[in-house]
Amino acid sequence: RRFVSTINTISVSAMDEDNVGTVKQQLAKLCEASLRATVPDESSLEPLVAPCTGKFGDYQCNNAMSLWAKIKGKKTEFKGPPSVGQAIMRNLPQSEMIESCSVAGPGFVNIILSDKWIAKSIQKMLEKGIGIWAPKLPITRAVVDFSSPNIAKEMHVGHLRSTIIGDTLARMFEYSNVEVLRRNHVGDWGTQFGMLIEFLFETFPNWEDAGEQAIGDLQAFYKASKLKFDVDSDFKEKAQQAVVRLQGGDPKYRKAWEQICEISRREFNQVYQRLGVHLEEKGESFYNPYIPGVLEALSNQGLIEESEGARVIFIEGKNIPLIVVKSDGGFNYASTDLTALWYRLNEEKAEWIVYVTDVGQSMHFEMVFSAAKRAGWLPADDKLYPRTSHVGFGLVLGDDGKRFRTRASDVVRLVDLLDEAKSRCKAALVERGKAAEWTAEELEQTAEAIGYGAVKYADLKNNRLTNYTFSFDQMLNDKGNTAVYLLYAHARICSIIRKSGKEIEELKKTGTIVLGHADERALGLHLLQFADIVEEACTNLLPNVLCEYLYNLSEYFTRFYSNCQVVGSAEETSRLLLCEATAVVMRKCFYLLGIEPVYKI
Ligand code: ARG
């Protein structure tokens, strides 16, 4: 197997010629050419381009210092990092992108982008669609393993977080022309099934005809069967035999198992449907038939050892090994994950496999990934592909700072949670007099879009590693960094355009964007940086980066709108186009965050 680095494959996902990549990627190309001209004898020079931290440019090329360190022993024309920087600047190819350059400090090359080029790029996006701004990622296929609740157990707020974060990551990859296998790795193969199946047989002798209806509330059913399991030793024994029969493929047990899974699935789907999240279920059971073969191969490589009756893989730097066969001969969570990883790499040919769970599972994934490296399935260098990443997230806390619970019971029913968000939004809209203004359907749809959007945004806007506090009052506030505020901001832009009485499709064809005012330029540059941000959010698997961008976008817009008259001004056409571009980019942000936009408010 050959492992590849990021730079070599960057052109793979260039789908069409209009897609030019992000601003950073475009500048990187120019800088790369300059580096080659500056030091023709040096190989493998990766251009280092970043947005400017200071006020002397929009972007900067930061290669001078590291390049100087490489060449200072050799005989060259350069006297130090500044002169290297000067040469990099001189050798930058002519480009309409760049207005001017300067060298600062120890050789940083500051680049100011051309206003004309920024305007032209935005205009082209309006004409061709925002797809042309999709970043180019160095992969063509990824697995995002997310949501993944456990059958018959509660789908809790942790699974909600996983669902929301995973969906956004999948959407960002998809936008970047990466094929995403959206995997629901449901826990459908644990030992709990023996108990559940046996309890089903006992309590509902006619389960084959009426099982699904009879079970009703699966969590209550789970509790009752667990109760029996704990006190009744005959039942316990039967349950243990039931597991063996199920895993051996006995049709009767298989059928009962399918029935139980189906009930859970229906419940999960209610949540997915409300959230507009699409997933493809490949649960733990799917990988079961592949486990023996995978373990045998690992065993042949000499990786599997005996330890206290179990079969294990030792991992460097860890004092406990990864157990792949339990002492009773059964497989576990790790055997399944190791096999699923093998399957994803070899059968599904995924180049990046991303797992979204709470940080509590990071040790498990670290061990599975290390075992895969030992086996040579993955390169030792984490930056090479194929690669795996654990996307961990923190706890959901209640207002009281403790683990999130509802008043009535200790179980938070996710559908109830979403319903409450929606009904609170509806009440707020009614209070604003919208019930009289809108149709019932409009009211319903808007309440849903804002309510569900608020739940998602409140989760996504924080760095996922931190715990986050679930508070309806905060997330439904119409001021501050909330979905409500942002959705209103978008609706207001739409209304500016509507009220102008101008046909925006017509303006797109005939009008020209000119960035004359400083606030216009700032907004324009921020719009153009959308692709940079999506790339960063994908690369670091951090949706909050996109949320921050979106919030800043609404601030840039506000500044522009308060300082530049739009309707009735001499610059009306250009400014309306800028409004439209802002709305388009906002909508794409909403889309990537899984939020339904609102057009009027
Ligand atoms: N079912 C697990 C849980 O609820 C999450 C599974 C995550 N994915 C995986 N491949 N292990 O905690």
310 phi and psi, to 5 degrees?
Answer: -100, 165
Q: Which secondary structure element, helix H or strand E, spans residue 211, and what is its range?
A: helix 207-215
* pLDDT above 90 (res 190): no
Beta-carbon contacts of 35 under 8 Å, excluding residues fewer than 6 positions away, are 42, 45, 47, 63, 67, 88, 91
Q: What is the mean pLDDT of residues 556-581?
A: 97
Question: Closest ligand 1 atom to the C-alpha of 333?
Answer: 11
Q: What is the mean pLDDT of residues 55-61?
A: 93
Band of residue 410 on the pLDDT scale cut at 50, 70, 90: low
What confidence score (pLDDT) does residue 45 get?
87
Band of residue 16 on the pLDDT scale cut at 50, 70, 90: low
Residue of minimum CA distance from atom 4 in ligand 1? 149
Alpha carbons 152 and 241: distance in angstroms, whole number: 19
Q: How far is the CA of 366 from the centre of ligand 1 (A)?
A: 14
15 or 106, greater pLDDT = 106
Band of residue 29 on the pLDDT scale cut at 50, 70, 90: very high
Residue of minimum CA distance from atom 5 in ligand 1? 148
Residue of minimum CA distance from atom 9 in ligand 1? 185
What confidence score (pLDDT) does residue 4 get?
56
Q: How far is the CA of 186 from the centre of ligand 1 (A)?
A: 7
DSSP 329-340: S---HHHHHHHH
Band of residue 409 on the pLDDT scale cut at 50, 70, 90: low
Q: How far is the CA of 378 from the centre of ligand 1 (A)?
A: 21
What confidence score (pLDDT) does residue 411 get?
63
* pLDDT above 90 (res 84): yes
Q: Express each pLDDT in 312-371 by its tens digit.
A: 999 999 999 999 999 988 899 999 999 999 999 999 999 999 999 999 999 999 999 999
> Which of 183, 337, 361, 393 is the pocket-test mutation for ligand 1 (most atoms within 8 Å of CB)?
361
What confidence score (pLDDT) does residue 581 get?
98
Phi-psi region of 213 (alpha: psi -120 to 50; beta: other; left: phi over 0): alpha
**Alpha-carbon separation of residue 296 from 102, 104, 173 (angstroms):** 61, 59, 34
Q: What is the mean pLDDT of residues 566-585?
A: 97
- The runs of H, that is alpha helices, within 402-439 are 414-431, 434-437
Q: Which of 70-74, 375-379, 404-408, 414-418 has the lowest mean pLDDT?
A: 404-408
Residue of minimum CA distance from atom 7 in ligand 1? 148
Q: Express each pLDDT in 116-152 by its tens digit.
A: 999 999 999 999 999 999 999 999 999 999 999 999 8
> Which of 145, 148, 286, 337 is the pocket-test mutation for ligand 1 (most atoms within 8 Å of CB)?
148
Question: Closest ligand 1 atom to the C-alpha of 145?
Answer: 8
* pLDDT above 90 (res 75): no
- pTM of this prediction? 0.94
**If DSSP codes are grouped into helix, strand and coil, which group holds residue 355?**
strand
Alpha carbons 597 and 276: distance in angstroms, whole number: 13
Residue of minimum CA distance from atom 8 in ligand 1? 185
Q: Which residues line ligand 1 (CB under 6 A)?
A: 145, 148-150, 185, 187, 337, 340, 355, 357
Q: What percent of the chain has pLDDT over 90?
A: 83
* pLDDT above 80 (res 377): yes
Q: Express each pLDDT in 436-452 by its tens digit.
A: 999 999 999 999 999 99
* pLDDT above 60 (res 12): no
Q: Which of 153-162, 230-239, 517-526 has the lowest mean pLDDT?
A: 153-162
Band of residue 7 on the pLDDT scale cut at 50, 70, 90: very low
Beta-carbon contacts of 450 under 8 Å, excluding residues fewer than 6 positions away, are 425, 429, 476, 483, 484, 487, 598
Q: How far is the CA of 385 from the centre of ligand 1 (A)?
A: 23
What confidence score (pLDDT) does residue 407 get?
56
At how many degrees (to 10) do helices 544-563 and 518-528 cross?
Answer: 160
Q: How far is the CA of 357 from the centre of ligand 1 (A)?
A: 7
Band of residue 17 on the pLDDT scale cut at 50, 70, 90: confident
